[in-house]
Structure 1
């Protein structure tokens, strides 16, 4: 077994992370006094806890998650959206038209049609049925333009960075507007072609190299370069 004691390292299942008496948060087990990784990812040791941030995985909806979805079809008084999960997001007609409303299919299509992209919030999810999504908040709704990008949902925290530092750096360097879904879907909008390409390249870099400790410096260097 390899031994890792610094805060963040690339680990494999079976790798020893630490012996400190810490709270186990995820993807780790305790063998005696030894904390062992159970998945491929980044070890994350804090003052009172230890976990492994997985580098692969699927999105499982959680209440209050902000997600990006693509409308697939209308059934009854609801839209159903692909949210990059084993579940589809169900958006009720009354969420858009108001309570007590019974819109026709044609009226619903005028608001949201197949292929439209939305920014939504998981309103309810019990994993027994399709999760309810909502676009009622002012910051949510249809996204009219931009490039849709898909990355592993487990890489989203790395893309956002501490206190939003990574995503803010990418936006500031490219003049792009980046809408991030916790389900691994992202929409990038930019009036300048070079800015758009650089923003997309930065997102791909995070997706492919999230395991690197010096990723922030690599992204910054790429953004400051002349090429893409």
Structure 2
């Protein structure tokens, strides 16, 4: 059977011994789409790649946010969502944080980017984000690329195959936020341009089959830039 087709919410994608994954649900023996997109059947799993959509926070997600303001206790971080992330000052300053004496803008200023993880979110209030993990915090270098959050899974690829292909071919380091923000760093200007072009290619062709092979061919071509 053709394992890719355009679907609408409520459309039956397939029936049988498959496991429903991203943007699908099981109704009886039918696996049904929950969003507008392109269905994909791989191994024993069925998913739908959305064609549109905003970022909806989930606990544990890595996000790349932009500092917009701060109070005496926390920064407000814009995360490409209808929700605003709140980053506690104690996450950055540590246990010795003094709300009266410590100036938050000395650590993170308006407009600066930060890699953070969604620590708490329950739909009734804006999400709490944290940088209290290794490799999180202020982003000092790299180019920012924004894609649709619905295309993030495609950029990562099955078992990380897509992003591994891009990084190996270009020598770039790519940090992917689940909110559709991507930071690309590379010592080589040509490598940086190729990596950004590959990311844009995934954004534009996420609905197409054999996309990893297409991206690899572009990266290996002499006119890839």
- Normalising by structure 2, we get a TM-score of 0.88
Match of 1:135 in 2: 131
**Residue of structure 2 aligned with 1:10, choices 5, 8, 26:** 5
**Residue of structure 2 aligned with 1:53, choices 40, 43, 49:** 49
The total of aligned residue pairs comes to 223
Change (3 A) 1:87 1:9: same
CA deviation profile, 1:31-52 (whole Å, cap 9, x unmatched): 8865554533221335655342
- Whether 1:107 aligns to 2:103 is yes
Name the CA distance, whole Å, in 2 between partners of 1:82 and 1:105.
25
- Whether 1:117 aligns to 2:125 is no
Match of 2:196 in 1: 200
Match of 1:226 in 2: 222
Name the CA distance, whole Å, in 1 between partners of 2:25 and 2:130.
37
- What pairs with 1:10-159 in structure 2 (closer than 5 Å)? 10-13=5-8, 16-20=12-16, 22=18, 24-25=20-21, 27-28=23-24, 35-45=31-41, 50-99=46-95, 101-104=97-100, 107-159=103-155
Q: Where does the alignment leave 5 or more consecutive residues of structure 1 unmatched? A: none
| 8 Å Cα contact 2:5-2:39 kept in structure 1 | yes
Q: Where does the alignment leave 5 or more consecutive residues of structure 2 unmatched? A: none
Give the RMSD, CA atoms, in angstroms.
2.4
Name the CA distance, whole Å, in 2 between partners of 1:35 and 1:120.
34
- Normalising by structure 1, we get a TM-score of 0.87
